[in-house]
Structure 1
Amino acid sequence: MVIDSHQHFWNYEPVKHEWIDDEMAVIRRDFTPEDLQKVYSENDIDGCVVVQADQTLEETNFLIDLASKNNFIKGVVGWVDFRGDNIDDVLEHYSQFDVLKGFRHVVQGEADHNFLLRDNFLKGISKLEKYDFVYDILVFPHQLGTVLEFVKKFPNIKFVIDHIAKPYIKDGFYDGWAVLMAEIAKHPNVYCKISGMVTEADYKTWTPEQLEPYLQLVLDSFGTDRIMFGSDWPVCLVAGNYTEIKETITNFIAKLSLPEQSAIMGENAIKFYNL
């Protein structure tokens, strides 16, 4: 099975989605399961994991509802406030929904560089193990030192780094990102999504060759059993179409064995998210 491990849905609202700037105007509209189903049938995708794009419980409930009505949505990554005093009750409530696999916070948007290491956040994250939830880590490269300290604290929780930690490809930033990603990858409970790269490069002039060193570092560090294909649809549409995004990955991994390719294109996501 081919599983897209990372995509989003939204009913566009200018205030809620203010992060969609003028350069990204092409995605200032609604994106629904009907839209994605067409894309998937054209690109031979069997299912997906939908990830939160808004930090509210309403968003989590919205995605669970969409999954209940569309069986190609195999898993949901929602949002809860891990800093809340009632986090145990909240996680207990959400544990009744089999399709809800884990959670994410937009840590990249936090001014506090050590957000992940604050006591109240750590206390909340520690509860994930009890309910067998996983956690998506969304950060920029300058936050990777914190990520390393963070994942060390929870060897029994499964983590996945979204969008290879968004290296500044457009600016050619590589070495600092690479050193920390390789270090983080030494922790066997941490996976990595090969997704979201085209939007860190120049939207109009990126090439697969430009992405290759970043992909190679992630492949060498995490191995073929801990990386997973994700499209980041519809955000990816600001820099390319779905087919281009998918082919960038399938062409890169074509040198690997068929079982390794199958792992990256679907089986690792099935295993990580327990789909």
Structure 2
Amino acid sequence: MRIDSHQHFWEYKPKDYGWINDSMKRIRRNFSPGDLKPLLDEFHLDGCIAVQAVESYRETDYLLDLADQNPWILGVVGWADLTSGKLEEKLEEYNEHPKLKGFREVLQSKDPRYMLQENFIRGLQTLHSKGYTYDILVYPQYLKAVLELVKKCPNQSFVIDHLAKPFIQKGEWKEWQKHLAPIAERELIHCKISGMVTEADWKNWNKDQLYPYLEIALELFGPERLMFGSDWPVCLLAAEYEQVLGVVEEFTDTLSKNEKSWIMGNTAEKFYKLS
């Protein structure tokens, strides 16, 4: 199975997508399943995981509605307020939605200490009790806090989005690798090969600039804990879908057929319990 483990849909409204600034005009429009499906078909991908881009229950419901209408949207990573005392009650409401696989919050927009507060940890423990995964969206400087977080939740399945956004444009990798390594030692932590082109120079990146980060991720996590994600449509700021996929396809062509299969779909299928 070939899966795009990380993409977004949205009905663009400036007030909801304030992070889309003047330099991002290309993605200031609606992006629907009808825009993505031809790309998945063209490049022989069996389906995708739709990930939240707005922090609201309305966003979770919107993505679940799309998944109900489109069988190839294999799973949804929604949003929930993990610090809420009513979290368990809210999760009960989602019991009837088998395509809801996990949750995510825009942790990169908050103080790193936010994820270490007691009620956040309690929320993660509630997610674990219900069988949900959690996507971690952070910058490299948050990785010390992420290590503390995963130590406090040793049984929770996590995936780090976009390789924790290393500073590719600056060519920096040593500190990122140093702080990612102890996290990768924990077997329930996975990582998405996604979001790389937008951390590089949007207009002047090339695959040779990305490969060192891919090599480090492969060394740290191994193919069975890595998963391809396009980060479409955000990736369009720097590259077409075909280019993003092509970098990972070429990189994984150097691996065995089995190793490539894990990165291109099997890891996502297992992590998000798609079958």
Length-normalised TM-score, structure 1: 0.98
Aligned amino acid, residue 38 of structure 2: K
Give every structure 1 segment of 4 or more consecutive aligned residues whose post-TM-superposition deviation is greater than 6 Å: none
1:163 maps to 162
C-alpha separation between the residues in 2 aligned to 1:128 and 1:80?
A: 10
Helix, strand or coil: the match of 1:209?
helix
2:121/2:153 contact within 8 Å kept: no
1:92/1:131 contact within 8 Å kept: no
Where in structure 2 are the equivalents of 1:2-151 lying within 5 Å? 2-110=2-110, 112-151=111-150
Q: CA-to-partner distance for each residue in 1:119-170, whole Å, 9 max, x for gaps?
A: 1111111111211000000000010000001011112110000000001111
Helix, strand or coil: the match of 1:108?
helix
Q: CA-to-partner distance for each residue in 1:82-113, whole Å, 9 max, x for gaps?
A: 01110111112223210000000000011x22
Aligned amino acid, residue 206 of structure 1: W
C-alpha separation between the residues in 1 aligned to 2:21 and 2:42?
A: 29
C-alpha separation between the residues in 2 aligned to 1:104 and 1:265?
A: 22
**Structure 2 residue 252 is the aligned partner of structure 1 residue 261:** no
C-alpha separation between the residues in 1 aligned to 2:226 and 2:84?
A: 31
Gaps of 5+ in 1: none
Length-normalised TM-score, structure 2: 0.98
Tell me the matched-pair count.
274
Q: CA-to-partner distance for each residue in 1:4-59, whole Å, 9 max, x for gaps?
A: 00000000001111111122110000000000011111211110000000000000
C-alpha separation between the residues in 1 aligned to 2:44 and 2:24?
A: 26
C-alpha separation between the residues in 2 aligned to 1:95 and 1:248?
A: 38
Aligned amino acid, residue 4 of structure 2: D
Gaps of 5+ in 2: none
Task: Name the % identity.
Answer: 49
Aligned amino acid, residue 134 of structure 2: Y
